Amino acid sequence: MVAIQSCAASPSEQDDPIVDGGIPREDGGAPDGGSAISVDGRAIKVGGKAVQLKGVCWNPVGKGHDHPPREDYAAFADRDIALMKAAGINVVRTYDTIRDTAVLDKLHAAGIRVIMSVYAYGGDPASRASEHVTALKDHPSILMWSLGNEWNYNGLYTSLSFDDSLARLNQIAAAIKALDSKHPIATVYGEMPSKATIEAMPDIDVWGLNMYRGITFGDAFNKWEGLSQKPMFVAEYGADAFNAKLPGYDPQSQSKATHALTKEILEHSTANKGGVCSGGTLFEWSDEWWKSGNPSQHDNGGTAPGGGPYPDSTFNEEWWGIVDVDRNTRPAYEALKSLYAP
C-alpha cells in the first residue's frame, strides 16, 4: 500500500529534481515504492521525485456528438495520445470517468497519467465515485482522483448550495480514502478558495484551480502561498482561438496566451523552483462543437464564469482546442510543445 503523505517538505526535498517527460510508470520491475504517489508538503511526488504536471484537459467529443464522450475516448485515443506524447504532455485531466481500460493502457504506455474525474454531477449518487475508484484504483495510469469542476459556481451542475456541495464532496472524499490509500484526491475550484473552505475539506489532498485572468495569473501564486501548504495546480487556463474583437479566427493570440501562461506556471513550479504550483492542465486539448449550438457545426459564442481569456475576455466555447476537432494542430500546440517537449 502507498501512503498519501501530508508532511511538510524539507528544503532538500523541495529541491528534488523534476521528473522530465513522462511521469514514472508502475512497472513490475520497479523497486518497492519506486513509483509510489505521495503528497509531500506542496509537492506531488512519484517515486520520491516531485513531478511537474504538463497537462491538458481531455474531453474528446467528436462532431455531432454530445458530452460525455464515452465512446470518443477510444475513437480518438491513438491520434490524440501520439500528438500529446510528441508535445511532452505527461498528464490529462478528464471531466468524465474513463472506464475503458484499453484507453488507459494506451495512456500508460505513452507515459501519460490521468487526473481522473470520478464525481462531477450532483445528480449521481455519492456511491458512484466509490464504484469508479474500486474499478480503477489498481490501474497504473491513475495519478489522482478529481471531485467536482468549479462546483462553487455550478453547485455540482444541479444548483446545490455551496454548503451542500461541500458536504457532498466531503462525504465522497472520505469514502474514497477508506477504499484507496494509493492516490491523492483533488477537487477543482473556480478561482481561489478561502482558507475556511480549504480547512473545511481535510480529505482533499490537492487543489485544482480554474483561472481565466487574461494573459497573466497576477497575484494567484502569492495568494496561494498564504492560503495553504497543500499542493495546487492550475486545472483550467488558456485562451480560445476566436477573437470577438475582430470578430474572427485568431490562433496567434491563443498561442501567445498559451505560451505566456504556461511559462508563468513553470516559473512558479514546486518541482524545481521551490514555488507553489505543481503544474497545469491547459483548457483544452480539442475543440468541442457540442457546447454552443448544433453539435455538427462550429459555432461562435458561449458563456462561462470567472474572469475572461485573452485578448477579448469572451468565452467562445467551441474554439478552445490546441488541436481542432479534426486533430489539425494550431500554433498553440506548438507553443506548448516548445515549453514541454524534451
Q: How confident is the model at residue 305 (pLDDT cuts 50, 70, 90)?
A: low
Size of the chain, expressed as the number of residues it contains: 342
pLDDT(126) > 50:
yes
pLDDT(169) > 80:
yes
| Strand ranges across the sheet with 43-46 | 37-40, 43-46, 49-50
- Please write the tens of the pLDDT for every residue from 34-59: 589 999 999 999 999 999 999 999 99
Instruction: Quote the pTM value.
Output: 0.91
Residue with cell 500554433: 331
Considering the chain, what is the average pLDDT of its residues? 90
- Please write the tens of the pLDDT for every residue from 11-22: 333 334 444 456
- In CATH, the number for domain 52-340 is 3.20.20.80
Q: What are the extents of the domains in the chain?
A: 52-340
